[in-house]
Amino acid sequence: MSDVIRSTGAGADAAPASGEGSESGGLMRGIFGEGSPTFLTTRVDFVVNWARRNSLWPMPFGTACCAIEMMASAASKNDLARFGMERMSFSPRQADVLICAGRVPYKLAPVLRRIWDQMPQPKWSVSMGACASSGGVFDVYSMVQGIDTIIPVDVYVPGCPPRPEALIYGLMMIQEKIRGETLSRHHEHRSEPAADVGRPRASAVEVAALSLPFGNSTRQNRASGLVQTMPTERPGDRIP
């Protein structure tokens, strides 16, 4: 915002100097009345980022309980539309920011990756909740341990589930992030090698390093058939 004020200010300063002699209007007959300029100088980066960050269309990828809070943040009380997320875009082709709200099982991982691949650049993503960010309490055979192993993530919103305020704050952090982007480094930020489409974002070494502190499938120990600990009691055994 300050950028605009500075730009118009510069224009207004320049206007009297250039338009001093000409009474005929032209540049001098602006929308703000006589004496204001009809043009505006600013930076392309600023205008582009301003447009992008104020019309972020979310692609809701709600898979579990977190999605309820995502719906609540779009509903009237918290009203996501105030921040430019006017339209929940249920088609990835028209979306700008993917909100992954909920746990993602391995069966859904290729779907998530494909939806991300289908979204056009520029695009951002929010990982909402403990499950999407890290697998949460579901450290089990079927669950992706953090969607950042599948797609790049811009903002992680912690919580189980995060409150709507937290999600809105996360989206506003994306807006802040967009504010700092520049077109001259667009390619650097936004290019995706074709070979990456449909591939996991994290390498095998990274995924292994992420899951190692929590024990891997080969190191766990529990009352299973593999590691016999004690006899399991059947409910029926308790009947006299």
Chain contacts with ligand SF4 (rule: CB under 6 A): 64-66, 102-103, 129-131, 136, 160-161
Between the two ends of the chain, the Cα-to-Cα distance in Å is 77
| Contact partner, 140, from ligand SF4, another protein, none, Cβ < 5-8 Å per class | another protein
Q: Could you tell which of another protein, ligand SF4, none binds residue 130, using a CB distance below 5 to 8 A set by kind?
A: ligand SF4
Task: Determine which residue in the list 142, 165, 190, 192 makes contact with another protein, applying CB under 8 A.
Answer: 142
The nearer residue to ligand SF4, 103 or 123, going by C-beta atoms, is 103
Shortest CB 147 distance to ligand SF4, Å: 12
36 or 211, CB closer to another protein?
211
- Residues 187-216 binding another protein (CB under 8 A) are 198-200, 202, 204-205, 207-208, 210-211, 215-216
**How far apart are CB 56 and ligand SF4 at their closest, in Å?**
21
Identified binder of another protein from the candidate list 140, 184, 187, 188, rule CB under 8 A? 140
Q: How far is the CB of 40 from ligand SF4 (least distance, A)?
A: 44
Near another protein by CB under 8 A: residue from 20, 141, 187, 193: 141
Per-residue HEC secondary structure of the chain comes to CHHHHHHHHHHHHHHHHHHCCCCCCHHHEECCEECCCCCCCCCHHHHHHHHHHCCCCEEEEECCCHHHHHHHHHCCCCCHHHHCCCCCCCCHHHCCEEEEECCCECCCHHHHHHHHHHCCCCCEEEEEHHHHHHCCCCCCCCECCCHHHCCCCCEEECCCCCCHHHHHHHHHHHHHHHHCCCHHHHHHHHCCCHHHCCCCCCCHHHHHHHHHHHCCCCCCCCCCCCCCCCCCCCHHHHCC
Closest CB to another protein among residues 95, 144? 144
236 binds another protein (CB under 8 A): yes
Q: Are 154 and 86 in contact (CB under 8 A)?
A: no
| Choice between 30 and 161, CB closer to ligand SF4 | 161
Cβ pair 168, 83 in contact under 8 A: yes
Among 53, 60, 67, 113, contact with another protein (rule: CB under 8 A)? 113
CB of 140 to another protein, least distance (A): 6
Residue from 162, 181, 85, 174 nearest 124 by CA: 174
| Binding residue (CB under 8 A) for another protein from 145, 155, 168, 175 | 145
